[in-house]
Amino acid sequence: KELNVAIVGATGAVGSKILEKLVARKFPAKSIKMLASKRSAGTEIVVDGQKYIVEETVPESFEGVDIAFFSAGGSISKKFASEAVKRGAVVIDNTSAFRMDEGIPLVVPEVNPHELKNHKGIIANPNCSTIQMVTALHAVKEKFGINRIIVSTYQAVSGAGAEAIHELGTQSLQFEERADIEAEILPSASASKHYPIAFNAIPQIDLFDESGYTLEELKMMNETKKIFSDDKIAVTATCVRLPVVTGHSESVYIEVDSEDVTVEAIRAAMATTTGVVVQDDPSSQSYPMPLYAEGKDEVFVGRIRKDPAHPSGFHMWIVADNLLKGAALNSVQIAEELIK
């Protein structure tokens, strides 16, 4: 069956990739409606020689739509997702609006596709940093059990949207011209203070919770438990923004359930997951880097090594394109899984 598809946030960093992925993967779409704010109504987007005209998002936009991808921020999802569902659409939501709601599946197709059958109209796409971590760790967890994860992230600016990419570019030019560096977007548009991202590292992504963790860190901690259906797994995150355009990197420490697991066994397990590539050869300086992960669908893992001080501890480095596996690709994979 051919489907009517809508993309809310179609002009954004993730929305534009959703369109590219739908076209490239030949998703059976009869029509693709490009929705954004009033500001960009009438804008033309051309992909693969096909022209799409952007329309303003209103409740009636969802008449006749079968699948609606949302990537325009949590407030827009809260405002329009129910309008889409009311009109018969299945919503695949990229924002954090519904992820932790009970009864809303939070899905990474390689890890928990079975959750999809429980949906009641809305399916949540996890946080970008969470997706690449659980995809890489899934097979290790299945085979050996994982009881603890400590992750530090090195996240790209594209995760904060098209305006953040522009800000990094502008600040780089200001630095080169020895002008004052102006910061307005990062670490978070709604934060009370802003800091330069160019030539910097900002240990704040999203706002702070009273616990001292940021909301991004809490997303990684809570979403990992939900996706793995494991309340007992101990997860702690530190999330840092770097002046990288696209591609999130993560230093991940895990403790597995048994003490006789080898690095080779961890590598072999990871390589069994579709879409996970083990790139791990120190002798040839082979390890994943965000610059080379950009534009790729896979999750790359390298630097896998045993902790010298803990018999079941392992360290590794996980990299993926945050706009693709971390967002647009995972959403399109959810849609593909739904129509199977």
Residue number with CB closer to ligand A2P (127 or 273): 127
**Residue located via tokens 């599946």:** 105
Rounded Cα–Cα distance for residues 271 and 276 (Å): 6
Tell me the window of 9-17, 203-211, 264-272, 273-281 that interacts with ligand A2P (CB under 6 A).
Answer: 9-17
CA gap 120, 123 in Å, rounded: 8
Catalytic residue, chosen from 128, 166, 310, 315, is 128
Is 161 a binder of ligand A2P (CB under 6 A)? yes
Q: Is 248 a catalytic residue?
A: yes
326 is a contact residue toward ligand A2P (CB under 6 A): no
Closest approach of ligand A2P to the CB of residue 43, in Å: 8
Euclidean distance between CA atoms 207 and 271, whole angstroms: 35
Omega within 30 of 0 (cis) for the link into 187: yes
| Shortest Å, Cβ 248 to ligand A2P | 15
What x-and-dash track marks residues 112-151 binding ligand A2P by CB under 6 A? ----------------------------------------
Query: Which CB contacts under 8 angstroms, 24+ apart, belong to 212-215?
Result: 213/237, 214/239, 215/96
**Residue indicated by tokens 């009641």:** 120
User: By C-beta, is 146 or 327 nearer to ligand A2P?
Assistant: 327
| Widest CA span in the chain | 61
Sheet of 146-155: strand order equals 234-241, 146-155, 248-256, 313-320, 299-306, 276-278
DSSP 261-273: --HHHHHHHHHTS
DSSP state of 326: I
Q: What residues contact residue 52 under an 8 Å CB cut-off, 6+ apart?
A: 10, 19, 32, 34, 44, 45, 46
For ligand A2P, the binding residue among 24, 29, 40, 268 (CB under 6 A) is: 40
- Binding segment toward ligand A2P, per CB under 6 A, in 20-28, 60-68, 72-80, 289-297: 72-80
Q: Which two tokens stand for residue 255?
A: 């403790």
Among 5, 6, 11, 69, binds ligand A2P (CB under 6 A): 11
Give the residue from 136, 151, 131, 140 showing the smallest Cα distance to 264.
140
163: contact with ligand A2P by CB under 6 A: yes
* The one catalytic residue among 194, 239, 248, 315: 248
Q: Do 72 and 59 form a contact (C-beta atoms < 8 A)? A: no
Least Cβ distance, residue 40 to ligand A2P (angstroms): 3
Question: Should residue 57 be labelled a site residue for ligand A2P when binding is judged by CB under 6 A?
Answer: yes
The C-alpha atoms of residue 74 and residue 207 are separated, in whole angstroms, by 14
List 3, 19, 22, 36, residue binding ligand A2P (CB under 6 A): 36
Neighbours of 30 (CB within 10 A): 11
Using the minimum distance from each CB to ligand A2P, give the nearer residue, 11 or 312.
11
Gap between the Cα atoms of 159 and 184, Å rounded: 16
CB closer to ligand A2P, 163 vs 230? 163
User: Tell me, what DSSP letter sits at residue 254?
Assistant: E
Among 2, 28, 31, 39, binds ligand A2P (CB under 6 A): 39
Residue with Cβ nearer ligand A2P (57 or 333): 57
275 contacts ligand A2P (rule: CB under 6 A): no
For residue 128, indicate whether it is catalytic: yes
Using CB under 6 A as the binding rule, whether residue 72 contacts ligand A2P is answered as yes
Judged by CB under 6 A, does residue 47 bind ligand A2P?
A: no
Active site residues: 128, 248
> Which residues are near ligand A2P by CB under 6 A?
8-15, 36-37, 39-40, 57, 72-73, 76, 161-163
